[in-house]
């Protein structure tokens, strides 16, 4: 057909508008023909035509989307000429179509199957021409959709000839849609349309993980295992292609709870998770900031936190970015509902609001809530179930490998500028800092830096820095050791002053009984360390007063070299009420469970129980608490050795407490003259001649005295004039009833 001038007209019916064809009179053209419409010398558009009796000859009717696309107005004169497709180059292989609801009032959230949509599209528009940038209307499931042709890839000519595909792909601007073309739907960016099925594009998803992060640079040390566990639970599903996740029916994890002792890196870890992910800047909220004195304001503050995520999910659906909300000290706002007696109930409504936002009826899929606390026991349990803060991760004290990492991070800058002396061995420091948290290790490095700087400050009448020496500043091993000794002590773990006072005079091995106790203690330590069957070992050291039970218990604990050693002693609980005492004892045990290997010495049990023989009276509350704690197995992977001491085994027997201990070791008094002489020799307080006189007096006689009492009597005698020391010592022994001329044992 030769080019001819025709007039643009309005499409006669709605049905014809949906055909994507230009409508003409049958007198002018035939249905199925392709024409090129020239609107200006530079602008040409290709249409497939359809005939209809209502169209006036000499006019060509276009639908509104077609007129928009081609920039046509009604009555405009256009040049129309026939157009022939080159079947070897212009057949559509794959066509990408952007889709959205035509009218915003018809928006709905039900999913549309893109495969069915593609089939219907090909049936409806078969053998029609399509151009990149073209707009059209498509009816599917009684809903109207606006489409925009984004991209056309030509069909491989080999397929048309019935040969195997050559694999070559090339893009074209205009193509002819065939029955075996492939149509892929892509949701418009701001659309709330939900597409499912394989005929939707794999959107160019931004990688959720930053490509250039690593632990060392992030400043997290000793948490590799925890980090990989969080990654496995919370992020694996977000890294996977969304269509596979969709086919599995998998939901993303929306909440993580990090808990553990203070200073172990919970806040740091949450901050770094935000940096590690290509997500929106995390919103960091301190729990108490949420609360407001006005009614309803606290809940509104929670709603504000989630507003951006809700808005983006409505606009972009599955393509929405990840919004991270970090709650520091989450126990401040999420206490057990109903637990705050006499309160206004604000806490309860805040918890309710948070629960409904994370996992309510209109749930969000583009959020990750990270809560942090060192009191997980206070948090409402509804918040900890799956679907809410379901990944619970204990951030504990770092092990030796972790401490090496942390110290390396904090000394990296000094190493870079050669301010760290060559004698500083990070591995040695890591070995010395058992039970130090990450924050305490950072404090240790700071203290060492201060010690080093202090050497270069001249404090005379005014404080001056010696500039010449300051240039040569080096932080040395001695600075670190001095800080370990004086400045930074771990909040958890061993307090050496604690048991140093109990073993002040050393352990006097006056005979086989003492050696046997020490050997049995060593065995129990090895059992705790090595046996997987008995993670809890409890031993009771019992014997008469002053026989040195506490010193032996402290010595066994000290030699165990366990990272956590605590002595639970009545002298720290003077004046405590029963409940306060129970809480203090429980805290020691709770702290012990946080360390891999722990030893708790429960000293002077009858004193802890407030036992007195008159009455008889004792504290049943403390007794029950101790019975429970002595039998409670530590958490998995943790081991605990409990050493109890008592002078009243008979009383504990009546209280049925002996059954709580795995074994009982008897600590005897010195009972023979030979043992007494052995003890004196080891103590070395008397001269040889004096010892010979004492030996003559006590040899072959029965003696009955505790080592502690013996020390006291010796020290008292030594205050006398050298001539009278031996006489005084023997007199004191007889006064105490510890030595008798006969063979009787005087108690």
List the catalytic residues.
Answer: 549-550, 603-604, 631, 708
Which pair of structure tokens corresponds to residue 303?
């709603």
Rg value, the chain, Cα: 42
What secondary structure letter does DSSP report for 594?
T
Residue 496 and residue 485: Cα distance in Å, rounded? 11
Residue 223 and residue 406: Cα distance in Å, rounded? 10
Which pair of structure tokens corresponds to residue 295?
């009614």
Identify the CA nearest to 153 among candidates 87, 86, 95. Answer: 95
Neighbours of 106 (CB within 10 A): 11
Which pair of structure tokens corresponds to residue 570?
């009545």
Residue 320 and residue 340: Cα distance in Å, rounded? 38
CA atoms within 13 A on the CB side of 590: 13
| 201, 185 Cβ separation under 8 angstroms | yes
DSSP lists the bridge partners of residue 557 as none
Three-state SS for 602-650 is ECCHHHHCCCECCCCECCHHHHHHHHHHHHCCCCCCCEEEEEEEECCHH
Identify the CA nearest to 736 among candidates 710, 715, 701. Answer: 710
Neighbours of 154 (CB within 10 A): 19
Residue 300 and residue 290: Cα distance in Å, rounded? 9
Displacement of CA 502 from its chain's centroid (Å): 40
Residue 268 and residue 441: Cα distance in Å, rounded? 14
Three-state DSSP at 58 gives coil
What secondary structure letter does DSSP report for 106?
G
- Which residues have C-beta within 8 Å of that of residue 747, sequence separation ≥ 6? 704, 737
Neighbours of 152 (CB within 10 A): 25
């Amino acid at each position: 057909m030769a080019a001819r001038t025709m007039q643009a007209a309005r499409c006669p019916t709605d049905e014809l508008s949906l055909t994507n064809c230009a409508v003409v009179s049958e007198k002018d053209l035939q249905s199925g023909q392709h024409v090129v419409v020239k609107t200006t010398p530079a602008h040409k558009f290709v249409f497939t035509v359809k005939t209809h009796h209502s169209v006036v000859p000499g006019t060509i009717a276009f639908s509104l989307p077609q007129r928009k696309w081609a920039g046509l107005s009604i009555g405009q004169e256009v040049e129309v000429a026939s157009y022939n497709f080159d079947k070897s180059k212009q057949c559509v292989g794959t066509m990408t179509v952007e889709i959205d609801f035509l009218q915003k009032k018809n928006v709905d959230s039900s999913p549309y199957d893109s495969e069915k949509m593609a089939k219907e599209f090909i049936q409806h528009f078969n053998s029609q021409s399509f151009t990149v940038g073209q707009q059209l209307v498509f009816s599917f499931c009684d809903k109207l959709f606006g489409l925009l042709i984004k991209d056309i890839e030509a069909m491989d000519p080999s397929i048309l000839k019935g040969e195997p595909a050559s694999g070559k792909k090339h893009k074209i601007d205009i193509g002819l849609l065939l029955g075996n073309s492939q149509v892929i739907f892509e949701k418009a960016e701001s659309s709330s349309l939900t597409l499912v099925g394989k005929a939707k594009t794999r959107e160019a998803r931004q990688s959720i993980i930053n490509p250039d992060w690593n632990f060392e640079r992030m400043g997290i040390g000793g948490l590799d295992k925890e980090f990989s566990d969080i990654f496995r639970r919370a992020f694996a599903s977000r890294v996977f292609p969304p269509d596979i996740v969709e086919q599995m029916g998998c939901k993303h994890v929306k909440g993580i709870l990090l808990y553990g002792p203070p200073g172990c890196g919970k806040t740091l870890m949450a901050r770094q998770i935000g940096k590690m992910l290509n997500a929106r800047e995390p919103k960091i909220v301190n729990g108490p900031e949420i609360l407001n004195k006005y009614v309803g304001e606290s809940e509104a503050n929670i709603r504000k936190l989630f507003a951006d995520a809700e808005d983006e999910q409505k606009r972009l659906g599955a393509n929405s970015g990840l919004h991270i909300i970090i709650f520091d000290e989450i126990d401040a706002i999420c206490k057990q509902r109903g637990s705050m007696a006499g309160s206004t109930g604000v806490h309860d409504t805040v918890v309710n609001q948070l629960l409904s936002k994370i996992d309510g009826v209109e749930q969000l899929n583009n959020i990750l809530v990270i809560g942090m606390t060192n009191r997980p026991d206070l948090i409402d349990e509804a918040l900890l179930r799956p679907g809410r803060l379901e990944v619970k991760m204990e951030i504990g004290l770092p092990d030796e490998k972790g401490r090496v990492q942390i110290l390396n991070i904090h000394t990296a800058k000094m190493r870079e500028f050669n301010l760290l002396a060559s004698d500083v061995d990070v591995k040695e420091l890591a070995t010395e800092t058992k039970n130090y948290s990450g924050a305490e290790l950072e404090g240790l490095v700071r203290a060492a830096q201060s010690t080093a700087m202090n050497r270069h400050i001249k404090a005379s009448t005014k404080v001056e820095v010696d500039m010449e020496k300051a240039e040569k500043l080096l932080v040395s091993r001695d600075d670190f050791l001095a800080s370990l000794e004086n400045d930074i002590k771990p909040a958890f773990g061993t307090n050496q002053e604690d048991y140093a006072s109990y073993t002040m005079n050393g352990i006097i091995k006056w005979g086989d009984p003492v050696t046997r106790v020490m050997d049995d203690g060593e065995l129990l330590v090895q059992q705790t360390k090595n046996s997987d069957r008995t993670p809890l070992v409890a031993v009771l050291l019992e014997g008469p007063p002053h026989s040195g039970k506490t010193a032996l218990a402290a010595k066994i604990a000290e030699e165990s070299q366990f990272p956590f050693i605590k002595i639970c002693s009545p002298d720290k609980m003077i004046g405590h009420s029963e409940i306060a005492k129970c809480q203090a004892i429980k805290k020691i045990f709770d702290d012990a469970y946080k360390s891999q290997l722990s030893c708790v010495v429960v000293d002077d049990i009858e004193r802890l129980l407030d036992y007195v023989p008159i009455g008889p009276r004792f504290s049943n509350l403390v007794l029950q608490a101790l019975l429970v704690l002595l039998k409670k197995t530590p958490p998995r992977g943790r081991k605990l050795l409990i050493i109890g001491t008592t002078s009243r085994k008979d009383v504990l027997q009546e209280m049925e407490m002996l059954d709580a201990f795995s074994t009982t070791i008897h600590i005897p008094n010195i009972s023979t003259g030979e043992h007494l002489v052995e003890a004196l020799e080891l103590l070395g307080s008397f001269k040889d001649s004096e010892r010979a006189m004492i030996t003559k007096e006590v040899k072959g006689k029965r003696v009955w005295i505790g080592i502690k009492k013996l020390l006291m009597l010796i020290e008292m005698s030594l205050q006398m004039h050298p001539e009278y020391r031996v006489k005084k010592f023997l007199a004191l022994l007889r006064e105490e009833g510890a030595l008798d001329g006969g063979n009787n044992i005087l108690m």
